[in-house]
Chains A and B, each alone.
Chain A
Amino acid sequence: MKSLEELKRIKEQTLKAMDLRQAKNRGKVVVAMGTCGIAAGAKDTLMAVIEELEKANIHDVQVVQSGCMGLCDREPTIEVSMKDQPSVIYGDVDDANARRIVHEHVQGGQVVAELVIKRGNI
């Protein structure tokens, strides 16, 4: 370690690894992880969402899991709630759809209409 620049670089790198512990206020993606959801592939969905957010360099959106939302025939389901917007529930969210939702809704602000089950809070 010979300079402040080097110190800053370590800081930036480590902050990324510590990112999960920072406050994330811009929005939340909830992945339903009931038995039905897991059977339908919710775990892949969850990891796809996390991976895609990371790729898009989005760090202010929290990804959390929940139990079954009760929409078992449309699993995996996810709920996207961005700050100051009504939340949206998507169904049939496989790996590819998950990535699409991150890009179009979370990043682009456009709801992916064809996958929507319900708008507004349950």
Chain B
Amino acid sequence: MIRNQLLICAGGACITSGEKSVKDVLVEELARNGIQDEVQIIETGCMGACDLGPIVVVYPEGTFYQKVNVQNAGLIVNEHLVKGRTVGGLLYTEPTSERKAQTSGDIPFYTRQVKRVLRNCGVIDPLSIEEYIARDGYFALGKALEMTPDEIIKTVQDSGLRGRGGAGFSTGIKWKATKDATGSPKYVVCNGDEGDPGAFMDRSVLEGDPHSVIEAMVIAGFAIGAATGYMYVRAEYPLAIERFEYAIGKAREYGFLGKNILNSGFDFDIEIRIGAGAFVCGEETALLRSIEGKRGTPSIKPPFPAQAGLWGKPTLINNVETYANIAPILINGADWFRSVGTSKSPGTKVFALVGKVQNTGLVEVPMGTTLRELVFDIGGGIRDGKKFKAAQTGGPSGGVITADYLDMPIDFDTVKEIGTIMGSGGLVILDEDNCMVDVAKFYLGFTVDESCGKCTPCREGTRQMYHIMERICDGKGQHSDIERLSKLANVIKDTSLCGLGQTAPNPVLSTIRFFEDEYRAHIEDKKCPAHVCKHLLTYSINPDKCVGCTACARQCLVHAITGEVKKIHVIDQSKCTKCGSCYEICRFSAIRKE
């Protein structure tokens, strides 16, 4: 008889922070106390609060233990499960009220979210198809097989669901176009090639709830008339691949994949295609070439994949998160889906909230939620009491949202108006210590590396832009550089074939638009206002504060600091490499960074 269930988050972040060894300790302690048959341990997908990991939740109370490690994991067994005493030291303390949260329901990070896509992540065992079924899994498929393909497509269309991969194209229209296209066979493809730096929404869905994607792909196959599906996922996601593969096996065993699914006469199966992690393969035409075994380079559209996709046949390609929305729409209806979100962007969006916020992790909120709610209510504000500067959205294809737009509802269309994109949902929060020129340079560097090289403007243009960014950061910027960057950026946007090139200049254009003064400070004053760009920094010693402790002189590897004990020290600017180690070691705040 089971009296308690321990749910351990086995998402990627918690595994990295030691989930497996915590689990081993729990198993050992349960056995030592002889209660291994009364307490069940279940590993779930990502629970979302990644910087609180490893997370252990004890049911039936739902007690939420965070930052569990091998030293303190035993307390959960010996105190909570054996003696009935909550382990206070492992509870989450709410930073503003300093109250201890007993359950996830007491933590604002969780209470503000609306979990639709992530409905099962962190709740069920991703390896258990039975638990997926218990949460209404495969009932949408059962329902769909009793509908006509047109009825299914109409429901998806009425829901207003838009592609969660980034561009926000109507999913229903895509389904209809693929169904109406002539050509046979047709294919269903899932784009799991999540490539934006800092984004992990799709990985978490594949790791935490793989059946939700499988079920939707079968439904899509039935709706458009396809018998084969491909899951394209990058090789950097080994756990996602492993769990998805296992889930495919289980779905076949239960008859949700294979011949004559649920006695309907419909056949469908899914194969996994592992990508090598090229960013361009997230672009749909390049992805399709990669599945075909060719080099992943994009091709001109039209024809769209709906007309001529895989091997020239009509192909439906949707993103992981888009598919994860399908089953609830079919079960609850289009109106239910529209009950949250905005009229033009209904539903929810999953964000990977990272950067300088207190609570980083995976969050799902209704479309139209403001950046203020995301950063300050769910994210708990900026770390170390610093000031919010901007949020970077859409990865290397996007731009920034500044403090002036904190109260703007975020959806596909509003972010586009201010020069950035929703993208797949990466949300990197930047504070006053981030240099916007440096941030733009980082993203541009990413696209320079990831450009497939097919189009000259993208291949050469982004590299030239990068050179200009480099010289601005090195203090060699020229007065005409901002104008030159903008001009080059617009040529690249206008003349590149695929989305990668067309959007690659966005981080630069967006930061020029909102932070032109920072660019000018770099170029004209040779200063980096955020004190990030190394070549624009000067370290010096404040004679009023220096006590002559010699710590900095001993730390300096290039012997640029001279001075005797108890006398004021001096930095030789001609020798200084600006490594900042004196700044770090000084206990008297005597080192000035300007």
Instruction: Identify the A interface with B (CB < 8 A).
Output: 1-4, 7, 10-11, 13-15, 17-18, 20-21, 24, 30-35, 38, 46-47, 50-51, 54, 62-67
Q: Decide: B3 and A50 in contact? CB cutoff 8 A.
A: yes
Q: Which of B9-17, B128-136, B236-244 is found at the contact surface with chain A?
A: B128-136
Q: Residue B255 at the A interface, CB < 8 A? A: yes
Which listed residue, A10, A33, A34, A64, touches B61 by the CB 8 Å rule? A64
* Selected A-B contacts with CB under 8 Å, 25 pairs: A2-B263, A4-B142, A4-B262, A7-B138, A7-B139, A7-B142, A10-B130, A10-B133, A11-B133, A11-B134, A11-B139, A18-B134, A20-B3, A20-B60, A21-B5, A21-B59, A21-B123, A32-B84, A38-B83, A46-B3, A50-B1, A54-B1, A63-B3, A66-B84, A67-B83
Question: What are the residues of chain A within 8 A of B133 when measuring CB–CB?
Answer: 7, 10-11, 14
Question: What are the residues of chain A within 8 A of B59 when measuring CB–CB?
Answer: 20-21
CA distance A63 to B83 in the complex (A): 14
Q: Residue B567 at the A interface, CB < 8 A? A: no
CA distance A58 to B59 in the complex (A): 17
Chain B 112-135 interface residues, beta-carbon cutoff 8 Å to A: 123-124, 128, 130-131, 133-134
CA distance A30 to B130 in the complex (A): 30
Q: Decide: A11 and B136 in contact? CB cutoff 8 A.
A: yes
Q: Decide: B1 and A15 in contact? CB cutoff 8 A.
A: no
Closest to A48 in B: B1
Which listed residue, A2, A4, A13, A67, touches B84 by the CB 8 Å rule? A67
CA distance A34 to B84 in the complex (A): 7
Q: Decide: A3 and B134 in contact? CB cutoff 8 A.
A: no
CA distance A38 to B59 in the complex (A): 20
Q: Residue B454 at the A interface, CB < 8 A? A: no
Question: What are the residues of chain B within 8 A of A30 when measuring CB–CB?
Answer: 84
CA distance A22 to B139 in the complex (A): 20
Question: What are the residues of chain B within 8 A of A4 when measuring CB–CB?
Answer: 139, 142, 262
Asked, given contacts A4-B142, A33-B84, whether A15 binds B134 with beta carbons under 8 Å apart, the answer is yes
Contact with A along B230-255 (1 / 0, CB 8 A): 00000000000000000000000011
Chain B 526-573 interface residues, beta-carbon cutoff 8 Å to A: none
Q: Decide: A47 and B131 in contact? CB cutoff 8 A.
A: no
CA distance A94 to B395 in the complex (A): 62
Closest to B130 in A: A14
Q: Residue B416 at the A interface, CB < 8 A? A: no
The minimal Cβ–Cβ distance linking A28 to chain B, given in whole angstroms, is: 9
Closest to A37 in B: B84
Q: Decide: A65 and B38 in contact? CB cutoff 8 A.
A: no
Q: Residue B4 at the A interface, CB < 8 A? A: yes
CA distance A12 to B85 in the complex (A): 33
Chain B 64-115 interface residues, beta-carbon cutoff 8 Å to A: 80-85
Question: What are the residues of chain B within 8 A of A54 when measuring CB–CB?
Answer: 1
Q: Residue B256 at the A interface, CB < 8 A? A: yes
Q: Decide: A66 and B60 in contact? CB cutoff 8 A.
A: no
Which listed residue, B1, B256, B262, touches A47 by the CB 8 Å rule? B1
Q: Decide: B85 and A63 in contact? CB cutoff 8 A.
A: no
Asked, given contacts A21-B59, A51-B1, whether A14 binds B83 with beta carbons under 8 Å apart, the answer is no
Q: Decide: B85 and A67 in contact? CB cutoff 8 A.
A: yes
CA distance A92 to B263 in the complex (A): 57
The minimal Cβ–Cβ distance linking A99 to chain B, given in whole angstroms, is: 13
The number of chain B residues with a CB under 8 A from chain A is 32
Chain B 418-446 interface residues, beta-carbon cutoff 8 Å to A: none
Question: What are the residues of chain B within 8 A of A2 when measuring CB–CB?
Answer: 255, 262-263
The minimal Cβ–Cβ distance linking B131 to chain A, given in whole angstroms, is: 6
Question: What are the residues of chain B within 8 A of A64 when measuring CB–CB?
Answer: 60-61, 84
Q: Residue B7 at the A interface, CB < 8 A? A: yes
CA distance A88 to B110 in the complex (A): 33
Q: Residue B2 at the A interface, CB < 8 A? A: yes
Question: What are the residues of chain B within 8 A of A3 when measuring CB–CB?
Answer: 262-263
Beyond A7-B142, A65-B80, A66-B84, 8 additional pairs, beta carbon < 8 A: A1-B256, A11-B136, A13-B130, A20-B60, A33-B83, A54-B1, A64-B84, A65-B81
Question: What are the residues of chain B within 8 A of A63 when measuring CB–CB?
Answer: 3, 60
CA distance A69 to B482 in the complex (A): 72
Question: What are the residues of chain B within 8 A of A14 when measuring CB–CB?
Answer: 128, 130-131, 133-134
CA distance A18 to B4 in the complex (A): 11
The minimal Cβ–Cβ distance linking A45 to chain B, given in whole angstroms, is: 11
Which of A17, A18, A67: most chain B Cβ within 10 A? Answer: A18
The minimal Cβ–Cβ distance linking B267 to chain A, given in whole angstroms, is: 14
Closest to A69 in B: B84
The minimal Cβ–Cβ distance linking B107 to chain A, given in whole angstroms, is: 16
Question: What are the residues of chain A within 8 A of B255 when measuring CB–CB?
Answer: 1-2
CA distance A2 to B266 in the complex (A): 12
Which of B5, B38, B133, B262: most chain A Cβ within 10 A? Answer: B133
CA distance A1 to B218 in the complex (A): 15
Closest to A42 in B: B84
Q: Decide: B82 and A33 in contact? CB cutoff 8 A.
A: yes
CA distance A13 to B129 in the complex (A): 13
Which of A24, A30, A38, A65: most chain B Cβ within 10 A? Answer: A65
CA distance A32 to B60 in the complex (A): 16
Which of A4, A34, A66: most chain B Cβ within 10 A? Answer: A4
Asked, given contacts A14-B130, A54-B1, whether A21 binds B7 with beta carbons under 8 Å apart, the answer is yes
Closest to B82 in A: A33
Q: Decide: A35 and B134 in contact? CB cutoff 8 A.
A: no
Q: Decide: A1 and B254 in contact? CB cutoff 8 A.
A: yes
CA distance A3 to B262 in the complex (A): 6
By Cβ-Cβ distance, the 10 closest A-B pairs, closest first, are A65-B84, A33-B84, A14-B134, A1-B255, A14-B130, A66-B84, A20-B59, A67-B85, A2-B263, A20-B5
Q: Decide: B131 and A18 in contact? CB cutoff 8 A.
A: yes
Which of A3, A46, A64: most chain B Cβ within 10 A? Answer: A64
Closest to A8 in B: B139
CA distance A15 to B124 in the complex (A): 11
CA distance A3 to B255 in the complex (A): 10
Chain B 138-185 interface residues, beta-carbon cutoff 8 Å to A: 138-139, 142
Contact with A along B272-286 (1 / 0, CB 8 A): 000000000000000
CA distance A64 to B80 in the complex (A): 10
CA distance A38 to B254 in the complex (A): 44
CA distance A21 to B131 in the complex (A): 12
Q: Decide: A35 and B263 in contact? CB cutoff 8 A.
A: no
Question: What are the residues of chain A within 8 A of B131 when measuring CB–CB?
Answer: 14, 18
Question: What are the residues of chain A within 8 A of B138 when measuring CB–CB?
Answer: 7
